[in-house]
């Protein structure tokens, strides 16, 4: 029988950090339980984490960044110190896992000052490091952040393209020709989810090209892979009567068992489009 873990609030911060260092699999639930507990309950973790970030062990440095990523976040406590530390680390760090963690940390802390050094990693050979770059740029309206995300919508890694497209299309409201063109380029992506996120981003910007792109996506054969949630969201954003017939067929063909809420949205959209068509007929 495995030993039951000790309740976290009965263990010192140093002991929790040491326990986290002994967990080799960072997908282990206990590892992230410790990290989340330290984020919210142990402000005294700051100094130990600074030491971890300077440790010769890349595992220790990764752990230090993981904890600092959200430590004192609500009160913006330690912001200046953490920013200075991460900037220094980006100048010298070579470990892929640590670089990835720094990028993800900035998805929480949103330091504009990290955009430039993170952008230098946009062509890094490791997929996860590039994902960290995308995460660190998310929600930032800085020109360099936008151009970096646009470049990463063309990443060779499907998940990276997905996140970069989602961040550009749905996480910001900025509307520029460059963003629209980057999104439009992805409506013909080989991955269905990437295509779906591109459709949503274009529709949110009322780009007329999305209508034909949606119609093309809806010209499917039985068994084709589709992204129902994104298709309905994009169609609902643009609300063009030309989509009516294709959406009626789509509603009949898709198995809505696990996405009932989306079917309800689609039903309402189809009724709205039918009313639009009827109004034109009656004029």
**For 240-270, how does the pLDDT look when each residue is reduced to its tens digit (9 = 90+)?**
999 999 999 999 999 888 898 899 999 999 9
Query: Is the four-CA dihedral 154, 160, 165, 168 of positive or negative sign?
Result: negative
- Ranges of residues in the chain with a pLDDT under 70 are 1-6, 283
DSSP 26: T
Q: What is the pLDDT of residue 97?
A: 97
Distances (CA, A) of 181 to 109, 120, 187, 188: 29, 23, 10, 12
Q: What is the pLDDT of residue 25?
A: 77
Delineate the domains of the chain, giving CATH numbers in brackets. 175-283 (1.25.10.10)
Spatial CA neighbour of 172 closest among 145, 133, 211, 210: 145
Residues 6+ apart with CB under 8 A from 261: none
3-state secondary structure of 152: helix
What are the DSSP calls for 67-117, one per residue?
Answer: HHTTTTTTTTTTHHHHHHHHHHHHHH---HHHHHHHHHHHHHH--GGGHHH
């Amino acid at each position: 029988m495995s030993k039951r873990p000790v309740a976290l609030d009965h263990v010192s911060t140093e002991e929790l950090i040491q326990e986290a260092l002994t967990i080799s699999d960072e997908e282990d639930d206990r590892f992230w339980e410790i990290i989340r507990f330290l984020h919210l309950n142990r402000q005294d973790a700051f100094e130990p984490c600074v030491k971890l970030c300077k440790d010769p062990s890349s595992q220790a440095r990764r752990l230090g960044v993981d904890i600092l990523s959200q430590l004192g976040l609500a009160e913006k406590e330690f912001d200046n110190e953490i920013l200075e530390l991460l900037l220094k680390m980006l100048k010298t760090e070579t470990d892929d896992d640590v670089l990835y963690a720094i990028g993800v940390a900035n998805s929480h802390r949103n330091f504009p000052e990290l955009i430039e050094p993170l952008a230098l990693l946009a062509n890094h050979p490791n997929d996860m490091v590039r994902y960290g770059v995308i995460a660190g740029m998310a929600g930032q309206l800085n020109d360099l952040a936008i151009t970096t995300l646009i470049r990463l919508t063309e990443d060779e890694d499907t998940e990276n393209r997905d996140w970069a497209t989602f961040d550009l299309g749905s996480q910001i409201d900025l509307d520029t020709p460059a963003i629209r063109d980057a999104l439009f380029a992805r409506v013909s992506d080989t991955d269905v989810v990437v295509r779906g996120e591109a459709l949503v981003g274009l529709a949110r910007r009322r780009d007329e090209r999305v209508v034909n792109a949606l119609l093309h996506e809806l010209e499917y054969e039985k068994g084709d892979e589709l992204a129902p949630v994104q298709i309905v969201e994009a169609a609902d954003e643009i609300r063009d009567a030309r989509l009516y017939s294709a959406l009626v067929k789509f509603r009949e063909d898709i198995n809505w068992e696990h996405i009932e809420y989306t079917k309800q949205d689609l039903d309402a959209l189809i009724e709205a489009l039918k009313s639009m068509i009827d109004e034109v007929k009656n004029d």
